Amino acid sequence: MMWLWRPTLVPSRMPDESDYNCCCQRITARTGFTIFIGIDAFFLILSIVSIFMETHYKFGYISHVIVTIFMVSLACLSIKTFKPAYLQVYGICYIIQFALSALIALIICFVFGIGAIFFASVTPRSGDEQHIKAAGTLVSLALVFGTALYMFLMTWKAVVTYKYYRYIRDRQLAIEEQPALRNTNYPTTFHP
């Protein structure tokens, strides 16, 4: 299966990978997507190792690792085979992950933003309370900043993923629409 859904646009020429750039036009979208997936794979390995280091069972954590294995596998298949269907499934999963992450990020920013305001407004009565106020304010602001940074990286990854999908989509459509390209060196399936 090449597509989950087939776009209707017809590219005028065979797209070149260098036409789809990211990171201030410095690298191709495929390279940027591969870097993000490499980072995901690294953290996935750390997560799997931490499962075996934990002494008690955490179903939510293990289910997250299983979903991440599925997503990284789909991404690797899309990089290796150039099949749009893999990236379409990956994109659907990523949109769901992005929406849930954004909801959690908003909750964290709201709760800890209010916590920072509360700690900043409390008048300390002793030296210990002064340290608690400062620590509480700093922790709340660090969590809000960290969450904002996480959402920035998730958005950046979404943009790079979409640019890579556009390249794979346009490339596959060009191959399908121009019969002369079907027998060239443009791989459409995995050949070990």
| Alpha carbon of residue 30 to chain centroid | 14
Q: What pLDDT is recorded for position 8?
A: 72
Q: Report the alpha-carbon distance of residue 135 to residue 20 in Å, rounded.
A: 45
pTM score: 0.76
Most trustworthy range by pLDDT among 47-51, 100-104, 132-136: 100-104
Burial zone of 143 (CB within 10 Å; 0-12 exposed, 13-18 middle, 19+ buried): middle
The pLDDT tens digits for 56-95 are 656 667 777 888 899 999 999 999 988 999 999 999 999 9
Q: Report the alpha-carbon distance of residue 131 to residue 121 in Å, rounded.
A: 14
Q: Which residue has the higher pLDDT, 191 or 54?
A: 54
Comparing C-alpha atoms, which of 173, 176, 189, 157 is closest to residue 29? Answer: 157
Q: 28: which strand partners? A: 21
Q: What is the mean pLDDT of the chain?
A: 80
The pLDDT tens digits for 94-122 are 999 889 888 988 887 787 777 767 766 76
Q: What pLDDT is recorded for position 88?
A: 92
Kindly give the interhelix angle for 127-177 and 29-53, rounded to the nearest 10 degrees.
Answer: 130
